[in-house]
Amino acid sequence: MLVLGIETTCDETAAAVVERQADGQARILSNVVRSQTDEHARFGGVVPEIAARAHVDLLDGIVDSAMKEAGVGYGQLSAVAAAAGPGLIGGVIVGLTTAKAIAMVHDTPLIAVNHLEAHALTPRLTCALAFPYCLFLASGGHTQIVAVVGVGEYVRLGTTLDDAMGEAFDKVAKMLSLPYPGGPEVERAAAGGDPTRFAFPRPMLGRPDANFSLSGLKTAVRNEAGRLEPLEPQDISDLCASFQAAVLEATADRLTVGLRLFEERFGTPRALVAAGGVAANHAIRSALQDVAAKAQTTLIIPPPALCTDNGAMIAWAGAERMALGLTDTMEAPPRARWLLDANAKAPAGHANSRAGY
């Protein structure tokens, strides 16, 4: 099975061709990603209109590159998969419309993929992980703990009540005048800082649910930074280190609860999987390793190129769905919001639409 995957939900324009073999093993034949970081850097964040226009300009060439690198023709494709949401609606429309056009012209099945499902199934692309397992998805738009029970079977165990984790890192970077993208800059500054200098709150610590909250922590950083102005370089490093330490402790606590909830409902998870751009943070990876060890499970983090947005994960999710006979019609809609767990409801106090994807 050969599947072309297209990803345009935010500021990466990506396409890939993945082969799913008869025994369920995977082979990535191409994975082309064009980041728009430079286009958005001067604005300090992603501008939806700029992102959508860039997808229009770039996508045809990137799809062509992915097909040529894979060495296959459109007539050989078993399906065309596109991220149909959740995400910035302009970009989602570009990718889904392109996939529909390819599918129509070449009479190929279309698969409209939930971007979150693609993240959830990535460890099966990289190491053929068996179900069930626990997913920690942390990025600029998402912070969730999800029980991955099977293809199309997901139970959300925890989510953020406000800011996504990557979003909080980016906002802290912006308030401290660090360059964009902010997450890596906060991590870099924290390496030279004192994590004990500022006693920032550890949101939700000890709660019986597995939800996150990061807006209060972010506000505490802003208040402390305002009190210290003008900021010296060491102040910035100490603020970043103290902020990151609070995130680490809160994350470890929330995941410990999430894994306990998982075990109560589904038994011991085959692994704790981390995905999303935040998984590239070395301090967070170390904290996740400790959580997994205490829970007596394995930590799996896909390679960085497959943690962030990419076409290979979309193609693989499409292949997994097609193997079960799950395809879509040309009426498949683009979605700004699309819950992974169809039965999930936003928790009380939920205020951030991005977190509710």
Q: CB of 201 within 8 A of CB of 212?
A: no
Residue 174: pLDDT over 70:
yes
Residue 242: pLDDT over 60:
yes
Whether 290 and 315 share a structural domain: no
Compute the distance between CA of residue 9 and CA of residue 277 in angstroms, rounded to an integer. Answer: 14
Whether 112 and 182 share a structural domain: no
The three-class DSSP label of residue 222 is helix
- pLDDT at site 355: 31
Residue 351: pLDDT over 50:
no
In a domain, 346, yes or no: no
Compute the distance between CA of residue 188 and CA of residue 171 in angstroms, rounded to an integer. Answer: 15
Whether 180 and 296 share a structural domain: yes
Whether 98 and 76 share a structural domain: yes
Whether 142 and 284 share a structural domain: yes
Residue 354: pLDDT over 90:
no
In this prediction, residue 344 has a pLDDT band, given cuts at 50, 70 and 90, of: low
Average pLDDT of 61-88? 98
Compute the distance between CA of residue 310 and CA of residue 354 in angstroms, rounded to an integer. Answer: 19
pLDDT tens readout for residues 146-172? 999 999 999 999 999 999 999 999 999
Compute the distance between CA of residue 12 and CA of residue 117 in angstroms, rounded to an integer. Answer: 17
The β-bridge partners of 137 are 144, 275
Residue 76: pLDDT over 60:
yes
- pLDDT at site 48: 93
Q: What are phi and psi of 300, to 5 degrees?
A: -120, 125
In a domain, 357, yes or no: no
User: Structure tokens of 353?
Assistant: 């639409």
In a domain, 31, yes or no: yes
Whether 291 and 190 share a structural domain: yes
User: Structure tokens of 347?
Assistant: 């928790």
Whether 205 and 280 share a structural domain: yes
- pLDDT at site 279: 86
In a domain, 345, yes or no: no
- pLDDT at site 350: 36
- Number of domains the chain contains: 2
Instruction: Give the domain range for residue 254.
Output: 133-300
CATH of the domain at 196: 3.30.420.40
Q: CB of 109 within 8 A of CB of 327?
A: yes
- pLDDT at site 42: 85
Whether 224 and 198 share a structural domain: yes
Average pLDDT of 215-219? 96
DSSP 135-161: EEEESSS-EEEEEEEETTEEEEEEEBS
Q: Write out 303-328 in H/E/C secondary structure.
A: CHHHHCCCHHHHHHHHHHHHHCCCCE
Strand order in the sheet with 299-300: 153-159, 143-150, 133-138, 272-275, 299-300
Chain mean pLDDT for the chain: 93
Whether 329 and 186 share a structural domain: no
User: Structure tokens of 137?
Assistant: 């998805």
Whether 264 and 220 share a structural domain: yes
Whether 112 and 232 share a structural domain: no
Compute the distance between CA of residue 276 and CA of residue 18 in angstroms, rounded to an integer. Answer: 20
Beta strand pairing status for 143-150 and 79-85? unpaired
- pLDDT at site 343: 62
Of 38-52, 97-111, 130-144, 332-346, which one has max mean pLDDT? 97-111
Whether 190 and 203 share a structural domain: yes
In a domain, 250, yes or no: yes
Beta strand pairing status for 2-7 and 143-150? unpaired
pLDDT tens readout for residues 286-301? 999 999 999 999 999 9
